[in-house]
Amino acid sequence: MLRIKQQDIPGLKVTIMGLGLHGGGLSSAVFFAESGAQVTVTDLRDRLTLKPSLEKLKPYNIGYTLGEHREEDFTKSDLIIKNPAVPRNSPFLKAAEEKGVPVETDLSIFLGLVDNPIIAITGSKGKSTVASAVHYTLLSAYPDARLGGNITTSPLSFLSDLKAGDPVVLELSSWQLADLSGKGLLKPGISMVTNILPDHQDRYDSMEDYVADKKLIFREQGAKDYAIFNYQDPYQSQFAVQTRAKAFFFSDSPLPAETEGAFLEGSAGWIRKKDKPEQLLDEELSIPGRHNRLNLLAAGLAASLFGLPVAKIRASLKDFPGIEHRLELFEHKKGLKFYNDSAATIPEATAAALKSLKPPITLITGGTDKALDFSPLMEVIHLADKIFLLSGTASEKMRKLFCKQWIAYAGPFDNLKETLMAAVAESQPGGSILFSPACTSFGMFLNEFDRGRKFKALVAAL
């Protein structure tokens, strides 16, 4: 296990593999450059695509290999920092490891350098909302609490500002967890798995492999730590006996009397530890959807286990405004409400969005397939009054399902502007236009965040 100390970094030859546009590679490059390392950035994408990140690196003396990877950047380096999206079986990473060059990530470097209290959250869906809500709630008592990880903020970006005792909330993807496996670095005081749904099956050999990576979040916790699980998730049914941490649960309905955790009863949320239940969640919240109510309930449970009073948590969660790209109501125009749900990258997420809004709903969906089953979406597709498809491999799968059930749709359209114009023209005043793709964004967009922002810009220009 590699443990880099801050004083070891000056003069190190560090290769950043995957600059990307989400901030992880950028923050790693800045951190090591500012710490005195000799930094080389390598990325398969070209300079034009990476321009937003490259602009921010102009003040630093950094070398670049763009549009390709070169083996010498890996074998003649002292340290590799890989992007989570880079497969572990990359031949360049294998070449580095054969030469004894350690391969790390921004998260492993961060966790090796700090001793702050960590709340770690993973899951197929809901993890960004839960992590953001936990952080939002913590700010009421810890104004310097930080949020990072998969939510597009590398923890290296705030490492220099972090003080002893400042809590850090980390949202972690399955890939980020896999990169931390066996390093002995991830020992959160509180861990949480929001849910497990089929995802990334284009990258995993099986659901079992995907679940195994999710379980890494609680593997190295101790008896004094807490692990939070979804009581109704069948994939999590045995998790409590697989961790040394004390298990708590959250549930969409009342928990058994002997089970500690938080649960919904009607629209209200309650928490029960050893004593009698206390109300944790108001019936009226700022964000829509039963799934979001469950997300905030889970966030409240984590904040309570961290030590915040229930009354303070309840007040914070009532006002939580939600986050960008997650069922985000961002515009009222032409008698319509516009929702950006671009982070809905699996069918179950779009199904949850449809169940959260009042009719009439015009759904814009479709994109690139990840070898997923679209039947969960088909179970509720009748909630959409109109359906408009963006072109893509997943859209072709949807079309076949729609035709089989005699469900009307328009498209597929080759660009988002054309899709939006057609959807607006066909929508009823007083209704909603929901952009919830149910799949990934490769091809037409850089990522789901780029996709969501382009949708919002097109609506602003109507």
Query: In this predicted model, what pLDDT tens digit does every residue of 291-308 receive, in sequence order?
Result: 999 999 999 999 999 999
Confidence category of residue 415, pLDDT binned at 50, 70, 90: very high
- Residue 236 DSSP symbol: G
* CA 230 to the chain's CA centroid: 17
Distance between CA atoms of residues 330 and 346, nearest Å: 22
Please check the confidence at residue 2 and state whether its pLDDT lies above 70.
no
**Whether residue 248 has pLDDT greater than 80:** yes
Q: Which residue, among 314, 285, 318, 283, has the nearest Cα to 300 in the 3D structure?
A: 314
The mean pLDDT value for 264-275 works out to 92
CATH dotted code for 11-104:
3.40.50.720
> What gap in Å lies between CA 135 and CA 435, rounded to an integer?
27
Tens digits of per-residue pLDDT, 41-80?
A: 999 989 988 888 899 999 999 999 999 999 999 999 999 9
Output the pTM of the full model: 0.85
Task: List the Cα angle 276/248/118 in 5-degree steps.
Answer: 120
Q: Can you give the pLDDT at residue 275?
A: 73
Band of the pLDDT at 326, cuts 50, 70, 90? confident
- CB distance 135 to 147 below 8 Å: yes
**CA–CA separation, 347 and 354 (whole Å):** 11
Average pLDDT of the chain?
93
> What is the share, in percent, of the chain residues with pLDDT greater than 70?
98
Q: In the sheet where 432-435 sits, what is the strand order?
A: 328-333, 336-340, 432-435, 361-365, 386-390, 410-413
Report which of 388, 389, 395, 391 is spatially closest to residue 362, judged by C-alpha positions: 388
Nearest residue to 123 via CA among 177, 204, 71, 189:
177
Nearest to 374 by CA among 354, 356, 400: 400
Q: Cis (ω within 30 of 0) for the bond into 254?
A: no
The fold of the 108-319 domain, in CATH, is UDP-N-acetylmuramoyl-L-alanine:D-glutamate ligase (3.40.1190)
Angle, alpha carbons 291-292-298 (nearest 5°): 95
Residue 1's pLDDT is 53
- With a CB cutoff of 8 Å and minimum separation 6, the contacts of 363 are 350, 354, 384, 386, 387, 388, 434, 436
| Nearest C-alpha neighbor of 436 from the set 333, 363, 371 | 363
β-pairing verdict for 268-272 and 261-265: antiparallel
Architecture of domain 328-460 in this structure = Alpha-Beta Complex (3.90)
pLDDT band (50, 70, 90) for residue 443? confident
Q: Where are the domains of the chain?
A: 11-104, 108-319, 328-460
Q: Taking residues 359-385, report their average pLDDT.
A: 92
Percent of the chain with pLDDT over 90: 79
Kindly report which listed range (184-188, 220-224, 226-230, 273-277) carries the lowest average pLDDT score.
Answer: 273-277
User: CA Rg, the chain, in Å?
Assistant: 22
Q: What residues contact 330, with CB distance under 8 A and at least 6 apart?
A: 338, 339, 340, 456, 459
